């Protein structure tokens, strides 16, 4: 085959002049040539070349440099702790409104967790059967796990709220959520006074 001396510019001119569909039709009429990397598209070749500098390409071809392949660790959250949309996601992703934000509660001592548990008991009217010490170490273990994993460490740049989900005999999650929303309404009104909190 004598295609090795053709430049990408020359190939692109032919493709632009004839059109992709015409080239495919013409190709189907010609015998197979078993081209090396024949399954790759020009777009993929261009994308690869965009990853390196032209001078680096010359050095690679002359053996003055080499390529090292490393596994890319894809992060789940951006630098603000916001989840990075998954590939193929069709729903619209809107930027957060910076006029509204939460303040990270300072929970660094066991007593901080004990106080939160007491507030939960008062709101739900139940005993969660967990101590401040247990919640403190359970939270610390979870935070440490998230912090050391490069995929999740950015999550801690956002506000996080340790919570306790009490055991329940209710099997209908919809009914359970409705009950929790009622409790959340009561707790919010107690904390923020006259501010409205609507259950949708």
What does the pLDDT read at residue 130?
A: 86
Query: Tens digits of per-residue pLDDT, 12-63?
Result: 888 888 888 888 888 888 888 888 888 888 888 888 888 888 888 888 888 9
Record the pTM: 0.57
Q: Give the integer Cα–Cα distance in Å for 181 and 200.
A: 9
pLDDT at 200 > cutoff 60:
no
Average pLDDT over residues 145-154: 94
Query: Tens digits of per-residue pLDDT, 72-123?
Result: 888 999 888 888 888 777 777 777 777 777 788 888 888 988 888 888 777 7
Query: Tens digits of per-residue pLDDT, 57-74?
Result: 888 888 998 888 888 888
């Amino acid at each position: 085959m004598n295609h090795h001396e053709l430049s990408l510019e020359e190939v692109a001119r032919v493709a632009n002049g004839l059109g992709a569909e015409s080239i495919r039709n013409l190709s189907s009429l010609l015998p197979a040539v078993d081209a090396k990397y024949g399954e790759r598209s020009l777009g993929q070749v261009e994308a690869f070349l965009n990853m390196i500098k032209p001078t680096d390409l010359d050095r690679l071809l002359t053996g003055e440099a080499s390529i090292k392949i490393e596994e890319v660790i894809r992060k789940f959250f951006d630098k603000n702790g916001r989840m990075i949309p998954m590939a193929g996601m069709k729903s619209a992703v809107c930027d957060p409104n910076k006029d509204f934000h939460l303040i990270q509660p300072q929970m660094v001592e066991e007593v901080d967790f004990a106080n939160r548990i007491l507030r939960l008991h008062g709101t739900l009217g139940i005993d969660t059967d967990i101590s401040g010490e247990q919640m403190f170490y359970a939270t610390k273990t979870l935070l440490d796990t998230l912090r050391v994993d490069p995929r999740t460490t950015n999550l801690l740049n956002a506000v996080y709220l340790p919570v306790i989900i009490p055991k329940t005999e209710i099997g209908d999650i919809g009914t359970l959520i409705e009950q929790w929303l009622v409790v959340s309404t009561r707790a919010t009104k107690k904390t923020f006074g006259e501010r409205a909190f609507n259950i949708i």
